[in-house]
Structure formats: structure tokens, C-alpha cells
Amino acid sequence: MINIGLIGFGNVGKSVFDIFAENGDLISNRIGQPIHIKKIAVRSIEKYSSQVPDPSLLTDSVDDILQDPDIDIVVEVMGGDQPAYNFITQALTHKKHVVTANKEVVSKHKRHFFQCAKEHGVDIYFEAAVGGGIPIIRSLKVGFSANNITAFYGIVNGTTNYILTKIQEEGKDFNTVLKTAQELGFAEADPTMDISGLDAAYKCVILAAVAFKIDVQLDSVYYEGIESISLKDIQYADELGFRIKLLAIGNRIDPDTFSLHVHPTLIPKEHPLSSVRNEFNATYIVGDQVGESMLMGKGAGGSPTASAVISDIIDISFNLSQSVSYRNLETRFSDAQVQSFDAHECQVYFRLSVKNTPGVLEQVSLQFSKHSISIEKIIQKEMIDDRADVVIITSPMSESTSRLLQENILSLDSCHQISSVLRLIKSF
Amino acid sequence: MINIGLIGFGNVGKSVFDIFAENGDLISNRIGQPIHIKKIAVRSIEKYSSQVPDPSLLTDSVDDILQDPDIDIVVEVMGGDQPAYNFITQALTHKKHVVTANKEVVSKHKRHFFQCAKEHGVDIYFEAAVGGGIPIIRSLKVGFSANNITAFYGIVNGTTNYILTKIQEEGKDFNTVLKTAQELGFAEADPTMDISGLDAAYKCVILAAVAFKIDVQLDSVYYEGIESISLKDIQYADELGFRIKLLAIGNRIDPDTFSLHVHPTLIPKEHPLSSVRNEFNATYIVGDQVGESMLMGKGAGGSPTASAVISDIIDISFNLSQSVSYRNLETRFSDAQVQSFDAHECQVYFRLSVKNTPGVLEQVSLQFSKHSISIEKIIQKEMIDDRADVVIITSPMSESTSRLLQENILSLDSCHQISSVLRLIKSF
């Protein structure tokens, strides 16, 4: 008999409970022994007592879980940094295996958790922290473990992918789509964490830890959100053969140097990541042996996330029958450099608003050639009064060159404004 | 120190050896102890001696591996039914863990292997047998293990996917594309096993075992190849918004009844499976909790397949440090029914060659309505002399109704021939 203690009973916690009720036999069969949820720690017993068949399952003291010698696995699904950090640390110290769905706490404290787990002879799993139901963490840890991973490109935030898809497919603007997304539950009342790219950046840190075995913090990841993505850009990109996706990108530049960044990115329409629509997530992986692979699925929501949480519980239970395998710990983080984002190079999409007078395109083009940047495509669109939109796709340039170029272009009398600057990837 | 014995040194075996040479440190680090290939069994030592740094690694007697008490893991990459079946059985009997990339032997003898492994306290892994480098087997076994899997849709044969992609994208006919595929190494000199759907059917049997926990043989799987797919059908499908893919399909019809079939299938262009091009493979999974997921990657080739073989070796090695977890055995196969393919229902695409005279469409339509089948789309194309192509997409019908309908249509004076009958799936 394996006993589980659940900390948190929100959307994911409730779904974990429901799946055990629904597929409990299947799960016990998989493991080869009975498994059940022994205790659920919540802030208010009263609030949740109607949601469980037996209210004695509930406790408002986490110690009832942490101190219970019969509990083998602690499942933390409360989210946030504190007090989750303390609860996880205590659980590990009490020699309990931990499963968490908490991207923030794993992103910040992974090294501490791994060391603490190893010290106390237990394991910590976090499949649900990135990509919801998609088995991306264990695929990187085991499925692709013969590989040096050279790059990952993740659509790891369902809210922003939903919004970008709807702007593109329904031709509506950002704010209209955001409002619908909030009504449908695909975006939070306060969507800042998703929209700003912060959520994706936390996940980028975790993917870097698992794919590259490096221990970095959020400040090593350049991130940018989708607030400034306009319907116009999405339509121009479409016309040029691209989709715009918010990607969490990790690149191995040389064996010990990495580049980590999150930003809206133009990618070719026919690329598999372009087929990832609405609230779906996906991670595209490049390994030195396996080549290119992609894992796609639902990145959020109670059931998909709980499905990942339970897969971790099952994985631990396989080992519990014997002893712990530590298969999930990264205790050999390598010392690595993260490249400054200034040095990062890629193709760029510019949308400029210029005066509709002769010679403007020449003036603009000159700025690019001064920096030895060639123009791959240039289209002029939409003349309104004396203004025209000019869309330009360039050869690769560094972030610092891009900034210089923007200054130079803005100094031109013929340029009203730079409406958009977006990064573009054609080969993965 | 973990010792491996390799049986077979073809494309995959050589790649396994090369990856150990290239990424050996990474792999040992992952496992936490040294691991190396101790012996390689080949038919002719002479033939292969130039391909290894130390020819004493080679033996022409498999017993040198099977009888060596120091060898922990036997890797079978020779392929085919016999003698692979005997070698695997003997390895398990000698209490050696087995990793195999052999779809045929796993498909046929899985129940025997699982029982034999359990009896002797060892494990057998076969990630590379389906989908090359894609971690589909372990995702079904662990990643999605909280789910009742309700369906899978696999592009599991790279040769046929390459051919279908090239017909579509380059507008060339089947035979021209097949010839190029053979020259480029994407198709065998004798491509029958791939083209006929047999290879995909073997993989369908293995996916059914892992996804549904059922033990069926090849004769439970209806299969059909791509020999009769014409450029015309691919072009008409494109016009109607579809791609044609050879899919290995498993459906859970009720808890204990399944439908298993392999055939070319029209699927919507915007479906993620449609973005799987050339030699890539992918499996689309539907779970009752996780919803829809897709895993994509390279389905064949030395390095991707060897990447999967080594992931199995690493997985076993995690357990070897302790004792065996049996996590990979299906010892609880359920007794299940496989539905007769006659009862299988889906939408159908017909291409008819008819007389170009008034009233023909009415006559044809009447045949459909007689069977209570409605026509969702009908387009008339290409009149040459007195002939016209008519393309029809119908509402769902059973295979037996489809056959009856075909007889009825053929009996019409106005119908020259039925050029194509293809199945179509819109919702997954």
C-alpha cells in the first residue's frame, strides 16, 4: 500500500483526486500494489469539505502530512514560492518522495531540492511544471538521454498561444481576444504572468536544467511578452509565409555556452510548431543523435496537469517497490556560461511607418547595408494619407546591432515610427 | 560497471556503438557508473573487423554473449523473427535484461517475452521498435499511465510518409517518387514490407499492447498500403482541405472492444499529423485525462533508432544499481475483443470515373441515399472525351456498407470505374 499526502486542493489537486477515483484500479494495476490519497492539506477545511466524500481526508495542518510516517509521497500542488519551498524541503527531509507541479519553486530552488533529496535518499519529480500533460521532462531525462541536446523551442504557455491563434484565425485584435480568453478560462483575471512571458521564462529555466544540465536562474533568461503583437503583424507575417509564436528557446552555442530567451518569433507556416494551435503546448527538441523531435499536448487545465502529476507518482511507485533509483535528480549540474542576449543573432522582421515619398526605401535600405545586414524581403503596404507601412525581413543580426539599426532608422526624417521588431527563425 | 552484449552490427548496431564512443561520458554520467559494450556478435568477424577499433570485441558465437556472466544487458538489433526469438529467450533465461529494436519479434512474441522476463527477474525494453527515436513506448507506459488511452493514430512508417509527402509537394507520381526514395535510402530495394502497410501493422500491434494492454496478433489488424494512391487523389484531397497519410489506428470502442487498422487516410490539413512530413514519424494519442497529445520525430535511420536503444539501456541501468523494477513488463494483458473491420465506420472519399451525360450525378447520388448515406461534398472534375471524374465525400458508413455501395455504383451504366476509395477522419 502506497500512501499519498496532497498539499493544495485547487484545480490540479482536485483533478488528481478525481483521477484516482476514476482510474484508481488502472493506476494500482500499473504499479502492482494499492495506492491511495491518505490526507489532503488545505487552508480551510470548511471550504473544501463538500468536495470530498470523506471530510476526514482534509486537514488544515500540513504537519499531518509531513509528520505522518505512513505517507510515502507528498504531492505539492499549491503553487508559488513560499510556503511551497518550506513544505517541499520538509517533506524531503522527512524522507518522503515529492511530486510538484510548481514551475516557480522548481525553477528557483531546483539545486537545493536535488541536493536535499539525494541527502535523504528520496526523489523529486516535476513533470507537470512544464507543458502540463506532455511527458517532456521524462523524455529529456530518459527518452533522449543518449543525446547531447543542442536546442529546444517550446510553446510552453497556453494562454499566449490561445491568444495568438485567435488573433490570427479570427482577425480580431489583442484586447478583444484577451477578453474572450478570460471569459472562457484560458486567461487569468490578471494575465500579466502569462502575457509578459514570465511564465514561459520560468519554464525555460526548468527546460535548460533538464535538457542542458545547467543550473541557471530567471535573470539568465531574456524574456519578452506578446503585449505588443498586433493583428497587422500577424497578417503581414501570414502573407510572408510565417506564424508568430511565443517561444521559449534554448540553444547550445558551444559545449559550455548557452543562450536562453523567450520572445514572440516568426516561424515558417509549414513548421510543425505552427500547427500547435489554441491552448496546446509543444516542445521541439534537437538532439545530436535523435535529430528533431516534437512533443505536443495540453499544457494546462486540471486533468492534463493531474495526468502528469500521477505519471510521476506512478514512476516513484515503481521504484518504491524496490529502493529509490534517483533517476530524476540532476546532481551533476555543469558549470556553464549563458551568453548575453546582446550577442544572440537571428533574422529580424521590421514593420516601419514611413513617409510616402520617393527615395524612402533607398534611405531605409542604406541603414541596413551600413551594418552589413542584407534585406531578404521588403514589401510596402497600406498607404494612408502620406504614410506607408514597410515590412522588412533581414539577414541575421545580433541584438545589439538590431538596437543600433533601430536608432539609425528612427533618426531618418522619412521614418515616422518603428511599429514592430520581431525575431524570426527559419531553420531549427 | 555495466556490460553490454550487442547481437547484430548493421546500421542500428553500428550507430549504438558509435554513440557510445561519442557520448559515452554523458551516458555514464547519466547512469552514475561506467558502462561499455563488451562483446558484439556478428555472422562474419572478417566482414566487420575494420569497423571496430579492437576486433577482439567481435565474436561469431552468440553464446559468448548469452553465457557470459559479466554481461548484464543484451541488445538485439539483428531484426526478423528467427533466430532473434531464440536469442532473446535465451538471454532472458540467463537472467540478462534485453533491449530490442525488432518490431517483428516483439509484435509476435511479446506475451512470451514478458512472462519469461518476469519468471527470471529481468526486464525487456523495445522503445526502438516503434517510431525510431520518438519516446512513444515509455510515454504510453509512464507519461500517460494515469490515463485510459482511448485512441492512437500513428504515422509509423517513414518510407510511406516520405513517398506521400513527395507526391504531394512535388506533384510527381508514385513510381517516380519511389525510385528517388530508393536512391536516397528512404526506401528499401524491395519496399514491399513498407509500401504494403505490413511494417505499420506490426507497429500497430505493439502500440495496441502498450496503449490498450491487449495481446493481439497481426491477423487482428486490417491493413492496406499506399500502392494505389495516385497523384490525382492527393491533389483532389488537397483541394478539399485534406492530406493523405498512412495511419496505424487503434480505437477503444468500449472498455473491452478495440478496432485496429492501417490504411491511407484523409485528414484535415490543419491537423498536427498533417505537418509531419517526409521521413518523420508521429503518434497522436488521446487519453481520457490528458486529452490529445502528439509525439513526433525521426522514425528510422541508425542514429535516431540507436538513440532509443540507448535510452532503454539507460533506463535498465537506473534499475540495475538497485534491483529490477519490472516497469516495462505488460503482465496483466486484459482479455479484449477486436472488432471486425467490417463494422468499422468512418467517412469515405470516393473518386469515380463516370459518363459525362445529364443525370449521372443524380443516379450516383441515389445509390448513396438508398443506404442512408449522405453526401457531404461532391465535385466534378476533368472532363476528357465523354468521361468525368467525380469526387465525393460521404457521411460515416461501415466497411460492409462501403463494399455494397461500391457494387451498386459499379452496376450503373453511367459509371466507368471506381478509381479510389479512401477513408477520411475529421475528428480525432
Q: Please count the structural domains in chain B.
A: 3
**A289 vs B272: CB contact, 8 Å cut-off?**
no
- List chain B pLDDT tens, one digit each, 428 residues: 999 999 999 999 999 999 999 999 999 988 888 999 999 999 999 999 999 999 999 999 999 999 999 999 999 999 999 999 999 999 999 999 999 999 999 999 999 999 999 899 899 999 999 999 999 999 999 999 999 999 999 999 999 999 999 999 999 999 999 999 999 888 899 999 999 999 999 999 999 999 999 999 999 999 999 998 999 999 999 999 999 999 999 999 998 899 999 999 999 999 999 999 999 999 999 999 999 999 999 988 899 999 999 999 999 998 776 555 555 566 667 777 888 888 889 999 999 999 988 888 899 999 999 999 999 999 887 777 788 999 999 999 999 999 999 999 999 999 999 999 999 998 88
- Please check whether residue A334 lies inside any domain of the structure: no
Looking at the fold, whether A95 and A206 belong to one and the same domain comes out as: no
pTM: 0.90
Rg (CA), chain A: 24
Looking at the fold, whether B310 and B359 belong to one and the same domain comes out as: no
A203 has catalytic annotation = yes
Looking at the fold, whether B267 and B313 belong to one and the same domain comes out as: no
Work out the average pLDDT over A56-76: 97
Q: Indicate the residue of A26, A139, A323 with minimum beta-carbon distance to B139.
A: A139
- Please check whether residue A333 lies inside any domain of the structure: no
> Is A307's Cβ below 8 Å from some Cβ in B?
yes
**What CATH number should be reported for the domain holding residue A213?**
3.30.360.10
Residue A319 confidence (pLDDT): 77
% residues pLDDT > 70 (chain A): 97
pLDDT of A226 strictly over 90: yes
- Please check whether residue A336 lies inside any domain of the structure: no
Looking at the fold, whether B255 and B272 belong to one and the same domain comes out as: yes
Looking at the fold, whether A194 and A309 belong to one and the same domain comes out as: no
In A357-416, the residues whose Cβ lies within 8 Å of chain B are: none
Q: Indicate the residue of B145, B148, B293 with minimum beta-carbon distance to A297.
A: B293
**Distance (Å) of CA B70 to CA B2, B39, B318:** 8, 11, 17
Residue A305 confidence (pLDDT): 96
pLDDT of A322 strictly over 80: no
Looking at the fold, whether A144 and A256 belong to one and the same domain comes out as: yes
pLDDT of A343 strictly over 70: yes
- Please check whether residue A172 lies inside any domain of the structure: yes
Residue B324 confidence (pLDDT): 53
Looking at the fold, whether B143 and B276 belong to one and the same domain comes out as: yes
CB pairs under 8 A between A and B: 203
Looking at the fold, whether A271 and A171 belong to one and the same domain comes out as: yes
Higher pLDDT, B32 or A140: A140
> Is A337's Cβ below 8 Å from some Cβ in B?
no
- Please check whether residue A337 lies inside any domain of the structure: no
- Please check whether residue A390 lies inside any domain of the structure: yes
Work out the average pLDDT over A103-131: 94
Looking at the fold, whether B270 and B392 belong to one and the same domain comes out as: no
Residues of A in contact with B308 (CB under 8 A): 143, 290
Query: Cα angle vertex B196, ends B193, B198, to 5°?
Result: 55
Residues of A in contact with B315 (CB under 8 A): 142
**Boundary (domain end) residue, out of A299, A334, A365:** A299
Q: Which of A14, A203, A245, A298 is catalytic?
A: A203
Q: Evaluate whether B280 touches A428 at the Cβ level (below 8 Å).
A: no
**What CATH number should be reported for the domain holding residue B369?**
3.30.70.260
Looking at the fold, whether B291 and B163 belong to one and the same domain comes out as: yes
Q: Indicate the residue of B29, B143, B314 with minimum beta-carbon distance to A311.
A: B143
Q: How far is A363 from chain B (nearest CA, A)?
A: 40
Residues of A in contact with B326 (CB under 8 A): 32, 318
**ipTM > 0.95?**
no
Looking at the fold, whether B108 and B145 belong to one and the same domain comes out as: no
Q: How far is B211 from chain A (nearest CA, A)?
A: 12
Residue A325 confidence (pLDDT): 56
**A145 vs B270: CB contact, 8 Å cut-off?**
no
Looking at the fold, whether B47 and B121 belong to one and the same domain comes out as: yes
A289, closest residue in chain B (CA to CA):
B303
- Please check whether residue A330 lies inside any domain of the structure: no
B140, closest residue in chain A (CA to CA):
A135
> Is A329's Cβ below 8 Å from some Cβ in B?
no
- Please check whether residue A332 lies inside any domain of the structure: no
Residues A68-83: pLDDT tens digits?
Answer: 999 999 999 999 999 9
Range of the domain at A357: 342-424
**Boundary (domain end) residue, out of B282, B297, B312:** B297
